[in-house]
Structure 1
Amino acid sequence: MRRDSIFYKLFQQSPTLLFELLATPPSNADAYRFDSVAVKEPRFEIDGVFLPPENQGAGVVYFCEVQFQTDEQLYERVFAESSLYFYRNRNRFTDWQAVIIYPSRTTEQRDIHPHRSLLNGEQVHRIYLDELGDIRSLPIWVALMVLTTVEEEQAPEAAKYLLSRTTQEVTESASRAIMEMITTIMVYKFERLSRMEVESMLGITLKETRVYREIKEEGREEATLQLVIRQLTKRFGELSEEMRSSITGLPLPVLEDLSEALLDFTCVADLQAWLEQR
């Protein structure tokens, strides 16, 4: 299940969602902007950054990490990224805080002793979704986060409950966004099911929604990428990590062009030249 993209979309739709998880959110939480940033030398990619409004002077920057698989060096990476970004942008912020979202405590990094001061202080917030409570008692955007952790047996009933609740509690425009998020979660959670089976499960029609078009496009792009990688590997042997990374970053139309152009390649140098031209 591609939870990273799901949570990215959740925070895009509702940046204030992060602050609903905190006991002491900033007073201007409604004005924060969700973004992703890059820090060079060394290069870090920080996917979840909540930036305070620029027209209100220096403020607190919040870093967010959603971690559904155990990473025994997660805190080393998160604190290095956060500290470096804060250092590079010190004049913009008065402080930084980090929010780590786990499905449960069992996913957390085991060796936390080197980070005890940060983890036991007020600067780092660890959120365990399975401890937030029942979906029926949570704010609807927080409930969507918890829905990603619900077991398959209980997920359809929970999703349908949230769909019905959405029509009653939010505006029409927000309702459409939430319905698309619910269907996104369910389509990813039940990847083995066909579109019609998911539709039947939820009692809605997906084929005209943006999420269905996006999922269909993602599937086509992934299939094309895997085909190109297999063809190139078969012809030239294992590709370097740098070359694989370059190919993975290509948009679908360019991948489709490459799938045809590679038929004329005679060596890896031809591939490299083709990539450099684009």
Structure 2
Amino acid sequence: MKTDTIFYQLFKEFPNIFFELIGKPDANINAYEFIAPEIKQQSFRIDGLFATLEQFPTEPLYFVEIQSYKDEEFYERLFGEIFVYFRQYRPPNSDWYTIVIYERRSYETPVHPRYRTLVEKHLRCFYLDEIEAVSQDSLGIGILKLIVETPTNTTSRAKELINKATVELTDTIIQRQVLEFIETVVVYKFPNLGREEIEAMLGLNLLRQTRVYQEAREEGLAEGRQEGLAEGRQEGLAEGIEEGKLQTKLEMIPLLLDLGLSIQEVAVRLQLDEEAVRKVVENRS
């Protein structure tokens, strides 16, 4: 399972989880946008970067790297990519940090002494296999650990997080988004199971029948419904909802391809025409 894409999606949708992980839960998340900048000259792409918006140049940059295997040249390549980024994009920020998230400490390799100054001032490493105690109290860290959980423990841990989310999250829209993300992680871990089977396994099929969940769903669709009524066409609402569903499926295609599914398998799983999947692949290339 390729976890980089899942982590990127998590930090993109829930940046507060990243800042909780690095010990800065009070950081101004509105000052940042999470991107994956391409360094064209070298054909590099940084896993993720919390870049500041134009009006927050004094906030630090956070380069994010996810490491799920051992790589003897990891730090050489990492620092090289960062300094090429500085040369190409010329950000105004004076302060910057490199955050490396290891699935296990055993994947880390020694840093060459030539990088000692960079390591001391700019490098922070976190090991998901060593934060079990924290994850028991933190929903966000628990979701991080779910991404790298073994298949044997995935179902039980996902159920615990679902229960925790339904109790702790009072904002029904955010609660629904978190539950859907947890479900997505489990889907990636069990690619041979259909979405309905996953829902039943996690108990989400019953949860989605509750009044609270239905109200959250209705609230999420409210904007589209209002636009349809404003145009005086109920048909516009139906088309808007269908268009939204299609867009969601199209955004899922690169994620499923990165996980090793074929074009045919992606088409079947998302109930799309194979030609539509191929067009996304061609545009991505």
Q: Same fold (TM over 0.5)?
A: yes
C-alpha separation in 1, matches of 2:249 and 2:136 = 32
**Which amino acid in the other structure matches residue 65 of structure 1?**
E
Aligned position for 2:263: 224
Q: Check if 1:103 corresponds to 2:103.
A: yes
Does 155-164 or 52-61 show the bigger shift? 52-61
Aligned position for 1:92: 92
**Which amino acid in the other structure matches residue 123 of structure 1?**
H
Does 49-58 or 19-28 show the bigger shift? 19-28
Structure whose alpha-carbon radius of gyration is higher: 1
Aligned position for 1:52: 52
Stretches of structure 2 that go unaligned for 5 or more consecutive residues are 209-216, 218-244, 266-273
Stretches of structure 1 that go unaligned for 5 or more consecutive residues are 227-250, 259-274
Residue of structure 1 aligned with 2:278, choices 234, 255, 277: 255
Give, in angstroms, the shift of residue 115 of structure 1: 5.5
Mapping of residues 142-153 of structure 1, within 5 Å: 142-153=141-152
Aligned position for 2:229: none
Q: Is the 8 A contact 1:16 1:30 kept in 2?
A: no
Aligned position for 1:43: 43
Aligned position for 1:32: 32
Q: Is the 8 A contact 1:140 1:162 kept in 2?
A: yes
Give, in angstroms, the shift of residue 22 of structure 1: 1.8
Q: Check if 1:15 corresponds to 2:54.
A: no
* 1:43–1:196 CA distance, 2 compared to 1 (3 A): closer
TM-score using structure 2 length: 0.70
1:163-211, Cα deviation, whole Å (9 max, x unpaired): 11111212111111111111111111122334343222201249x9979
TM-score using structure 1 length: 0.71
Give, in angstroms, the shift of residue 123 of structure 1: 0.9
Report the secondary structure of 1:34's partner residue: strand
1:32-55, Cα deviation, whole Å (9 max, x unpaired): 211111223233212301012311
Report the secondary structure of 1:18's partner residue: helix
Mapping of residues 63-142 of structure 1, within 5 Å: 63-90=63-90, 92-108=92-108, 110-114=109-113, 117-118=116-117, 120-134=119-133, 137-142=136-141
C-alpha separation in 2, matches of 1:68 and 1:181 = 20
* 1:102–1:91 CA distance, 2 compared to 1 (3 A): closer
Report the secondary structure of 1:100's partner residue: strand
* 1:164–1:215 CA distance, 2 compared to 1 (3 A): farther
Report the secondary structure of 1:121's partner residue: helix
Aligned position for 2:239: none
Report the secondary structure of 1:56's partner residue: coil
Aligned residue pair count: 235
Give, in angstroms, the shift of residue 256 of structure 1: 6.4
Give, in angstroms, the shift of residue 253 of structure 1: 2.9
Report the secondary structure of 2:179's partner residue: helix
What value does the CA root-mean-square deviation take over the aligned residues? 3.6
C-alpha separation in 1, matches of 2:92 and 2:264 = 40
C-alpha separation in 1, matches of 2:79 and 2:113 = 12
**Which amino acid in the other structure matches residue 278 of structure 2?**
L
* 1:136–1:46 CA distance, 2 compared to 1 (3 A): closer
C-alpha separation in 1, matches of 2:122 and 2:252 = 40
Q: Is the 8 A contact 1:103 1:128 kept in 2?
A: yes
- The sequence identity of aligned pairs, in percent, is 31
- Name the structure with the higher helix share: 2
Give, in angstroms, the shift of residue 144 of structure 1: 0.5
Aligned structure 1 segments of 4 or more residues deviating by more than 4 angstroms: 24-27, 208-222
1:1-36, Cα deviation, whole Å (9 max, x unpaired): 231121111011112322212235784344221111
Aligned position for 1:160: 159
Report the secondary structure of 2:85's partner residue: helix
C-alpha separation in 1, matches of 2:251 and 2:154 = 19
